[in-house]
Amino acid sequence: MQRYTTLILAGLVIVLAALLAGTLIFVNNQPVQQRAIQPLAEVAAMEPDSSKWGVNFPNQYASFLKTRDNNIATTYGGSSDFSHLEKDPRQKILFAGMPFSKDYNEDRGHEWALTDVNKTKRLNLDKENPKRTPGTCYSCKSANMPGLWAEMGLEGVGKTFFGDLTPRVDSSIGCANCHEPGTMRLIVTNPALEEALQAQGKDWKTFTRQEMRSLVCANCHVEYYFAGESKYLTFPWEKGTKVEEMWEYYTEIGFKDWEYPDTKTPMLKAQHPEYEMYTAGSTHYNAGVACADCHMPYVREGAAKYSSHNIHSPMLNPQRACGQCHTDTEAVVRRVNLIQEQTYKTKIAAEDAIVDAINAIKAAAANPNSDAALLEEARLLHRQAQFYWDYVSAENSMGFHNPEYALKILAEATNLARQAQMKAAQAANDPSLLQTGTYYQSGPSGQ
């Protein structure tokens, strides 16, 4: 009897051992915090040379270097430097009179940032020109910037001519833009971000690690402008980070990036408000997902597990990026494609409406009998329509970061553009300015 009991119990022990082994494998597969290790090399604060950090963190560094070779286009973006102006010539018209109409390429990976800023035709390197490019344009392009900001301040950088800063800027975006050496803690390195948060009564040092895994992206991936003569890098966040709140801010301070030729509209150029778009109540943000969760998914190589620093579109590796949470990644990709297609079509409709408005305002402005007050109303509607459109167009996700918000903004942009056109026709008392589809009538140049 005792013998049978022993046999049965022994059998049960085997089952239990299997369960234990399974549990251990499961636990071992969970994300783990970076283990505290003795650094191999001491790295100075704000060290611009990422290869020095790479001695201590070879996996992260090796993956970061892959941003040099990830030049792959997705349907609407990715890391290939295709020309937006060639892909959608409406943008030549929309940005007429400012540098984006000359050269507007999709961004490549972080390792190319410095190369690409130095070769863009948007630069004005004529030192005597009052519109010469300021040093501020290096802000988001280099790991030298944290050190230069510490030394010169935002004002010093802004007052320095771009060309004069060039000898001191030799590293592309790197470790120093987001990390503190030693602890490798995620930190705010851009003083403009720190100041923008302070203006809202926020202190990034109280943010959780998961919040920082999005906030460090806001060191660069935000809406900003260059304030005043010193070209002081400023985020227009004083009233909040929604497009409506930034619009109100820009209206209040009367800022313009340029004046649109012939219409004389005081224009705003939206930058790349990924952080603001994503955090405006999007479904992924609401679910606690950080930028890094999708753009820097964990990878495993042998015994090591780390965040990929080969930052790029999740559409280039949906199984790794989306598959952490979504089991059916094929279905996810179908959804992303549909959302982006819907956003793209709505964006193009907004562009067509703005081109119509521009053509109408141009004609009304050229008419000496036009009502000046109505014409001014038309200009302000054009200004708002184009800023709202650009807020979605320049944002790097074709709506995916926050689909409903992006589409709501585009619906408003189109409505505003049509109202701008109507106001111009009223100003000139000329219904012939109400032509629609003028972009198509006049060929790809639209002129």
Task: Please give the residue ranges that form the binding site for a copy of itself (CB under 8 A).
Answer: 2, 5-6, 9-10, 12-13, 15-16, 19, 281, 283, 286-287, 328, 331, 334-335, 338-339, 342-343, 345-346, 349-350, 353, 399, 403-405, 407-408, 410-412, 414-415, 418-419, 421-423, 425-426, 429-432, 434, 436
- State whether residue 179 is helix, strand or coil: strand
Entry field: residues in the chain: 447
Q: Shortest Cβ distance from residue 187 to a copy of itself (Å)?
A: 28
Going by C-beta distance under 8 Å and a sequence separation of 6 or more, which residues neighbour residue 329? 318, 319, 322, 323
In the complex, minimum distance from the CB of residue 408 to a copy of itself, in angstroms, rounded to a whole number: 5
User: Does residue 400 contact residue 327 with C-beta atoms inside 8 Å?
Assistant: no
The one-letter amino acid at 231: K
Taking the CA atoms of residue 419, residue 420, residue 426 and residue 429 in that order, the dihedral angle to the nearest 10 degrees is -130
Pick the closer one to a copy of itself by CB: 105 or 435: 435
Question: Using N-to-C axis directions, what is the helix angle for 403-427 and 372-393, rounded to 10°?
Answer: 160
Q: What's the min distance (Å) between Cβ of 64 and a copy of itself?
A: 33
> What values do phi and psi take at 258, rounded to 5?
-165, 170
Residue among 253 and 434 whose Cβ is closer to a copy of itself: 434
Residue 44, phi then psi, degrees to nearest 5: -70, 155
Token pair for 314: 């999740």
Question: Shortest gap between Cβ of 119 and a copy of itself (angstroms)?
Answer: 37
CB of 406 to a copy of itself, least distance (A): 9
- Among residues 166 and 337, whose Cβ is nearest to a copy of itself? 337
Q: 216 vs 353, which CB is nearer to a copy of itself?
A: 353
Q: Whose CA is closest to 173, among 144, 193, 152, 216? A: 144
Minimum distance, C-beta of residue 431 to a copy of itself, in the bound complex (Å): 5
Closer CB to a copy of itself, 52 or 347, in the complex: 347
Sequence-ordered list of residues with C-beta below 8 angstroms from that of 427, at least 6 positions apart, any chain? 364, 370, 371, 372, 374, 375, 377, 378
SS3 at position 227: strand
Nearer to a copy of itself, 317 or 421 (CB): 421
Nearer to a copy of itself, 292 or 416 (CB): 416
Least distance in angstroms from the C-beta of 379 to a copy of itself: 16
Report which residue type is found at 242. Answer: K
